[in-house]
Amino acid sequence: MKIPHLGRRALLFFASLLSALYVLAPIGWLVSSSFQSEAEITSVPPHWIPDEPTLENFATI
């Protein structure tokens, strides 16, 4: 039958999305911060996607 099959797939999709978000959210912010300059990281409210990406932090390492 189609409807239970679709419902099951939707449930799995949302569960996967939720788990992936739970895991990736902090990491995503961390990675995004690594491309931001110090001034941008400490800005309020935070920039989730860097407006001025920089490779300075990697160069320092």
User: Are the beta carbons of 37 and 54 closer than 8 angstroms?
Assistant: yes
Contact 46, 33 (CB under 8 A): no
Q: Which is nearer to another protein, 24 or 53 (CB)?
A: 24
Alpha helix ranges (H) inside the chain: 2-34, 38-41, 56-60
Q: Which is nearer to another protein, 1 or 30 (CB)?
A: 30
Q: Which residue's CB is nearer to another protein, number 23 or number 56?
A: 23
Q: Which residues bind another protein (CB under 8 A)?
A: 9, 12, 15-16, 19-20, 22-24, 26-27, 29-30, 33, 41-46
